[in-house]
Structures are given as C-alpha cells and as structure tokens.
Structure 1
C-alpha cells in the first residue's frame, strides 16, 4: 500500500511540474524567442556550464578522496594481500589518469567548439595515424594489465601442497557458515547433501574413516603464518566466501567443490592495535555511544558477498587469527565428528 501511495504522489508531482512549465510558457512576452533552435546565447551558456561541471566534477572527486580515505581497508593481513593491493593500485591509477585526461578534453572541446553563427564544422573524414595511436595505446595497456593480473592470480591461487597447508571446509547455507577441520590426518572425509540427517548438518559420510577425526565448528580459528587451503561447498544457492582483510574471495557453488587458499600474517590482536583500525573503532564507538549501543571491538569476519536471500546480511562467521600454540589448544577442545555421532 505504501509503495502504491508513493507512486501516486510521484505521478502527481510530475503532473504539477508539467503544468507549471505550461504556465511559464504562457507568461512569456509576445516578442520572446520561442524557437526550439539553439542560438548563440544558448550555445555560450551550455559551453560555460560544461566547463563549470568539469570543475565541479574534479573538486568533488578530490574531496571524496580526501574525506573518505579513512574508511578504506587497512593493510592486507595475508601473504598475498600486498600483491593484490598493488594490482588494484596500478589499475586505479591508470583508470584515474585516463578519466582525468578524457573528461577534461571532453568538457574543454564542448566549450571551445560550441556553436556560433556563421561558423561551419570541419568535415574530417579520418586520420590513420591518430586512429592507430588511440587504438594501440589501450591495447598495450590492457595487455600489460591482463598479463600482470594473470601472473598475480596464478601466484595467489597456487597452493603448494608440499607446505602441508591446513585443510578447512567452509560450508554455506542460507544463512550461515559452518567450518570443518580435517583433523589430525589433515584429510577431509567425504560429504554429500544426501547424507544430511539429524545433527549431521553437513552431510559428512559416517562410513568414511577420514571423517572420524574431522571437527565441525561455528567459529573459524586460523594459525598465523601457516598456509590454509579452503574447500567450499554450498547446500542451497550460490554464495561467495569473502575475507575482506585477507583480500580473498571465491564463489561457493551448489553441486561442486571450489577452493582457494591464503596464509594469514597478522593476528587478530595485532590488527586491533593497527593505527587505522584503532581510529576506525573509535569513530564507530562514538556513534554507538550516541545511540546507546554497546562498544564495538574489531574482529575478522567471513562474509557472503552474494545477495543470497532475504537474510543475506546475517551470513557471517567470526575469524580468529592466533599463534600456533593458541590454535592447537583451541582445536584440542573441539569434539571430533566421530565423537559427535556416537553421542546420538
């Protein structure tokens, strides 16, 4: 009902604006120029407006960069994160350079070559040299970016099995995450949605010997400076495992297993003491105090970066990066899959 009323109000406002424009037309003096063809004064005004808009656009852009830099992510907390950030920085600098040059020329030419009485536009059929220049430069630039990006992507996605990475399954469902650690054998047991029954919410194969020492948890703990290989499964729809502070993301697709890995390099406690994070937490807590809310403390989170349904915003899991000793102590406290099933 509310949407219907909003539509009616907007329609009435449109009709009102149209009627007001008619009144202005009727109120013009008889000798007023009512021609729809632009004259010199119109062209002059439009040219100046184009230049004014260019100035406004650049001022707004630099203002946004200056004002909102403090809401960006801090330094990456993973081994590959620096390479990812460098690729993003190079891409953005190139895009900004091209944008500044082309937009400046666009608005300047709109002003310089504005219509004037008696001035005739020059018909310029083609120029092979110019066309070659503005074709070959983007080709070389894009080829360089693509090749650099491919090397970066390959380096990020290549998990060296010889380093004995920690194997963790991330299981997505509307609207939560569940993690399954591979246990002492570092090999995940087989799983299939057809095996989901009772407390076996991940569909782990009870008959698989590799599954007996797996550990299913709702909070993700990772040892610092140790490679982690994530195996991703979805129970229902397309999700996306997103670790913003680790610069990692991978789609979670129903019916198949996707994977990626990274090595966390900054513990949760170390990140809490990062200057950018300290400032950000203070700003957030100032707002929360004004609203009467509890104080906020920084934590890493695994998020879903696909709009996977109505409660998509709830799909997050806390991630704790800690020392190897603290991780081992926490893991030892978790019940194995075999123990959980024997209690049924």
Structure 2
C-alpha cells in the first residue's frame, strides 16, 4: 500500500511539473519566433496517412475477430421465442456493422482529404437544412423500426395468458445457489415468507397453506419439451438475475418481490447434445481438457473429467464472492420422462414432517439426559450436607 501511495505521489508531482512548464510557455507567447510546434504540410500528410493506416487496422481487426471469436457465440436457441430474439439481434448487428463501416470510412477519408495546408482556409457555412434533415430523419426511422420490432417481440415473449396451460415453477435465488419449487398437481404455488425458513423448509413455504401440500423443492431443474413453463422468481438476500443463455431468457430476482418469465423449450437436452456445432464444441473442449490432464497427472494431481453439455441456469448479476459459481443444472426431458421424474420426487410437506419426526426423539433424549445430570448433582449436594 505504501508503494502505491509513493507511485501516486510521484505521478502527481510529474503532472504538476508538466503543467508548470506549459504555464511558463504560455507566458512567453510573443517573446520569440519559435514555430517548432506548428504543424507543417509534411506533418499533416503523415497524419493523414496514419488515419488511413488506422482505418485499415480497424477493418482487419474486425474481420479477424469475426472469424476468430465468431464461433463462440450461442448458436441454435432452445426455446420457442429464441428465434425472435436472435432475429432481432442479427438485424441490429448487421445495421451496426454497415453504418460503422460507412461512417468510419468517411470519417478517415475526410480527415485525409481536408487535412491542413498552408494558406488554405476552410469553407464555413452556418447551417444546411437539407443535410440536417437527412442525417436526422434516416437514423430516426431506422431506430424507430428497431424499437417497434423489439417492443413487438418483447410483448409476445412476456405475455402469458392466465387461461393458458402452463407449468408454474418458482426459482429461488440465494447466495450462491438456486432452488426450484414445483407447484404440484394443482399447479398453484403455496404461500411463502422468509420468516418461515427453518430446517429443510429453506424457501420459507407456508406449510399451513392448502396449496403448499403438493409443492416439490429440488436443486436440479427438470422441464418438459414443448410445454410453456411459467417461472416465478424470488430472491432471499441480494439482487440476482436468472439467466438461461440457451433459452434466450433472463429476468432479475429482486428481494421482496416476485418477478416472472415464461418460455417453451423446443429441444431436449439429448437433442441439443446431438447438434453438429455442439458435438464439435464438446470435442474441442475435451481436447483441451485432455492436454491439461496430462500436465496435471505429471504433477501428481487428478485429471479433469470429460465435459458433457448441459443446459444451465446462471446468475447474471454480480452478487458476491462466489457469483461465478452460482448455477443450476437444467434438464429438458420428453413429456413422458418429465412425468416419471416428477412422480419420483418427494413432497416438501413430507420432508418437513420427516425432519420434525427425526428431531423429536433427539430432543426427548437430550431432556432426559439433562434431568439425570440434575438428579446426580442433587444427590451430590445431599451427600455434602450430610
């Protein structure tokens, strides 16, 4: 810390000295005829060519980046609305690239064409209504189109009809894990409150609520293909964000309120694993892991396990020290496999009853043991009195 302070002080001193020299130079204006800092035509020519060189670098780096890192972007969406999100994103990117390519070329070209020349004066005019109308109307129309398309897509994505046949699932966020609560056969979540959190009831579900009697709480999310899932989200502590990258879905989880999002999965986990790009990606990752494992084994450490693709629910808000590891596995099943999986899960109400039943004998035993100790101590007192 001391070294950092010393460095900061030295930097500030250097800046102060530099400013003092500039002030001194300003006081000498008119006292000498030194024109060494005035740009010449040769200087302006060099700067103009440097502008073109930078433009070339900008384009080359952009093209290189597209080929180098383009394959890293998410490919096939796994939700019904994902196609709309990708279309909107692709249209936006295409427009940005076209506008960027044209404006950057014009910017650097004009910087070269109208570079400074000795005895040349720039043309000045106060305004040009036609020019201002063109560069105002065109961006306004393009942006209005994007915004309207975005609002249309957003409305379609976010709208959930109350009478629509959906599966209601609660996502519960807390530092640094996720839990999911299924609404059971009645498809209605029981009431919950953080004040009711106790033991296995880690979500604070009100067990006296009739709608809570068939709720199921799990740490691995299973959802069926082709069925709309209506997520209701809560947070126990800080602001989190439920992010399903492959489903193109994200919604903040805010303490003290319930947020909602719905989507329909269109590809099971098994189907997504068989997509050509995913097969190639998994193979590439496992090649890297195999090379790393050789190094680890040589050091006497454990080799890395092979990678297998799974959908993930991530937290997309920096919520604390272990934010990077806040995730939950998501399995998209066929409808038949999903029904089978649900039927195998224990009801929360039964888990709570079992926990209370197992805790009761321990409490009774503890009381009896304490009373024995009291009896022993009483006997000792009586002996001492005798």
| TM-score normalised to structure 2 length | 0.81
The residue number in structure 2 matching 1:285 is 286
- Aligned with residue 344 of structure 2, among 306, 323, 333: 333
Following TM superposition, by how much is the alpha carbon of 1:220 offset from its aligned partner in structure 2, in angstroms? 0.2
Mark the CA change 1:115 to 1:247 in structure 2 (over 3 Å): closer, same or farther.
Answer: same
Distance in 2 between residues matched to 1:226 and 1:130, nearest whole Å:
53
RMSD: 2.2
The residue number in structure 1 matching 2:102 is 101
Following TM superposition, by how much is the alpha carbon of 1:162 offset from its aligned partner in structure 2, in angstroms? 2.9
SS of 1:78's equivalent in the other structure is coil
Distance in 2 between residues matched to 1:112 and 1:286, nearest whole Å:
52
Aligned residues: 330
The residue number in structure 2 matching 1:19 is none
Answer yes or no: is the 8 Å Cα contact 1:70–1:280 preserved in 2. no
Stretches of structure 1 lacking an aligned partner (at least 5 in a row): 17-32
The residue number in structure 1 matching 2:123 is 122
- Aligned with residue 298 of structure 1, among 309, 314, 317: 309
SS of 1:266's equivalent in the other structure is coil
Distance in 2 between residues matched to 1:129 and 1:296, nearest whole Å:
60
The residue number in structure 2 matching 1:154 is 155
Following TM superposition, by how much is the alpha carbon of 1:283 offset from its aligned partner in structure 2, in angstroms? 1.2
Following TM superposition, by how much is the alpha carbon of 1:14 offset from its aligned partner in structure 2, in angstroms? 11
Following TM superposition, by how much is the alpha carbon of 1:163 offset from its aligned partner in structure 2, in angstroms? 3.1
Instruction: Find out whether 1:164 has 2:165 as its counterpart.
Output: yes
Distance in 1 between residues matched to 2:8 and 2:309, nearest whole Å:
43
Distance in 2 between residues matched to 1:330 and 1:113, nearest whole Å:
71
Instruction: Find out whether 1:143 has 2:154 as its counterpart.
Output: no
Distance in 1 between residues matched to 2:278 and 2:35, nearest whole Å:
60
Mark the CA change 1:11 to 1:300 in structure 2 (over 3 Å): closer, same or farther.
Answer: farther
SS of 2:234's equivalent in the other structure is strand
Following TM superposition, by how much is the alpha carbon of 1:15 offset from its aligned partner in structure 2, in angstroms? 9.8
Max radius of gyration: which structure?
2
Following TM superposition, by how much is the alpha carbon of 1:160 offset from its aligned partner in structure 2, in angstroms? 2.9
Distance in 1 between residues matched to 2:283 and 2:341, nearest whole Å:
30
The residue number in structure 1 matching 2:175 is 174
Answer yes or no: is the 8 Å Cα contact 1:189–1:210 preserved in 2. yes
Moved more, 181-190 or 191-200: 191-200
SS of 1:203's equivalent in the other structure is coil
The residue number in structure 2 matching 1:51 is 52
SS of 1:140's equivalent in the other structure is helix
Answer yes or no: is the 8 Å Cα contact 1:267–1:320 preserved in 2. yes
SS of 2:339's equivalent in the other structure is helix
Distance in 2 between residues matched to 1:272 and 1:5, nearest whole Å:
52
Mark the CA change 1:7 to 1:62 in structure 2 (over 3 Å): closer, same or farther.
Answer: farther
Mark the CA change 1:70 to 1:10 in structure 2 (over 3 Å): closer, same or farther.
Answer: farther
Matches within 5 A, 1:83-102: 83-102=84-103
Distance in 1 between residues matched to 2:236 and 2:49, nearest whole Å:
58
Answer yes or no: is the 8 Å Cα contact 1:223–1:327 preserved in 2. yes
Distance in 1 between residues matched to 2:4 and 2:73, nearest whole Å:
36
| TM-score normalised to structure 1 length | 0.91
Distance in 2 between residues matched to 1:7 and 1:312, nearest whole Å:
31
The residue number in structure 1 matching 2:187 is 186
Following TM superposition, by how much is the alpha carbon of 1:10 offset from its aligned partner in structure 2, in angstroms? 9.1
Distance in 1 between residues matched to 2:89 and 2:96, nearest whole Å:
10
The residue number in structure 2 matching 1:245 is 246
Instruction: Find out whether 1:319 has 2:330 as its counterpart.
Output: yes
Answer yes or no: is the 8 Å Cα contact 1:190–1:208 preserved in 2. yes
Distance in 2 between residues matched to 1:269 and 1:52, nearest whole Å:
49
Following TM superposition, by how much is the alpha carbon of 1:34 offset from its aligned partner in structure 2, in angstroms? 6.9
